[in-house]
Amino acid sequence: MKIDRIFAVVKNFIKNLSETSIFAIWVAMLMLAGVLVWGLTTGLRNDIMAKTVNKILDESGEERKVVAAISTWHIPGSVTQFGTWYTMTSRENAVLFSIIIEGIFSPYLAIINDDGGLSALIPLTVNADRAVSRMNPGYLNIWIDRIEKNAAILRQVLNEKDRRRENV
């Protein structure tokens, strides 16, 4: 009698294990598909975002335009985690990033001058403009410091990349 009970428990365990593994494989395949779609559409997403930012810059009367995204997949550290970096028509770099302030999603374009300092911080929505005016100045200074530090790292990496091209 005990052996029949043990076999029943093992049989039930194996049945549940196979159903669970099928579900786990299904979830893993969905995750893999999502990662592939996200990774393979990076260029398209960056181009669409650049066009959208350029429309906003046109409406605000800004003469500088976003040209192309800078590939940062080979750069270690927080540069890639901060936002999307772009080159501009004025030979400056810019980073598109967002902050959530008081529950409001606030996208900004920070334009970096040749010295590595912040040239302009452009709010890209009306809510972002309101949020930056209500933001604590100390909190804004933290973001500006992060932008300038990441810009210095990016400039150093891009300069090394240019030197390698010249040597080849």
pLDDT in tens, the chain (168 residues): 577 788 788 778 877 777 888 888 999 999 999 999 998 998 899 899 999 999 999 998 888 899 988 877 767 666 667 788 898 988 888 999 988 888 888 899 999 988 888 888 899 998 888 888 888 888 889 888 988 888 888 888 777 777 777 776
Residue 22: inside a domain = no
Residue 3: inside a domain = no
Residue 111: inside a domain = yes
What pLDDT score was predicted for residue 78? Answer: 63
What pLDDT score was predicted for residue 80? Answer: 63
Residue 96: inside a domain = yes
Distances from the Cα of 70 to the Cαs of 12, 77, 92, 101, in angstroms? 55, 15, 12, 27
End-to-end CA distance of the chain: 80
In DSSP terms, 14 is beta-bridged to none
Residue 137: inside a domain = yes
Number of domains comprising the chain: 1
CA distance 160 to 143: 26
Nearest partner of 67 among 83, 50, 48, 44, judged by Cα: 50
Residue 156: inside a domain = yes
Residue 15: inside a domain = no
Q: What is the pTM of this model?
A: 0.75
Q: Which domain holds residue 154?
A: 63-167
Kind plus residue range of the DSSP H or E element containing 118: strand 118-123
Residue 143: inside a domain = yes
Per the structure block, which two tokens stand in for 43?
A: 């260029």
Coil/strand/helix, residue 113: coil
